[in-house]
Amino acid sequence: MRREAESHSDEDRRKFAEVEARNTLDSRVYQMEKLIRENREKLAEGDVKPVEAALETAKSALASGNLESIQSAIKELESASHKLAEVLYRASAAAGAAGGQGTPGATPGAQQSEGSAGKKGGDGEVIDAEYVDVDESKKPN
């Protein structure tokens, strides 16, 4: 029985590598489709086209089941996704710079103090303090 298992070990390794690659590619396809769906309004059509082409290649590679085509589709999808992530990062940085100025004429600390001034002390308030035991009998010699 052990010899039989050893004789099939190479086949098992190939199958394991194929399953891992399929799972990786399937997960990346899902993530990219979700990313595009959630950020469609922020993306130009020219930015999305290469990713959609890579997604189609990935889906056909998944259907074929060929390990080499799955691995090349993973690399192609990664490359396209990095470019898309860069576009999204630049868009969010630009939006953050434009939207991060706050209210015109207000000082930066004013907004923070207004938000905390409305809170009243109570059960939810946490006070950070140190405790020192002053009982002489508990002090080490």
pLDDT 10s digits, 102-139: 444 444 444 444 444 444 555 678 888 887 777 777 76
Span 2-48, pLDDT tens digits:
888 788 888 889 899 999 999 999 999 999 999 999 988 888 888 89
Whether residue 61 contacts residue 28, with contact meaning beta carbons closer than 8 Å, is answered with no
Those residues whose C-beta lies under 8 Å from the C-beta of residue 103, and which sit 6 or more positions away, are 111
CA 104 → CA 71, 101, 134, distances in Å?
52, 8, 53
**pTM (whole model) above 0.95:** no
Phi and psi at 131, nearest 5°, equal -120, 130
Q: Which two tokens stand for residue 124?
A: 């939810």
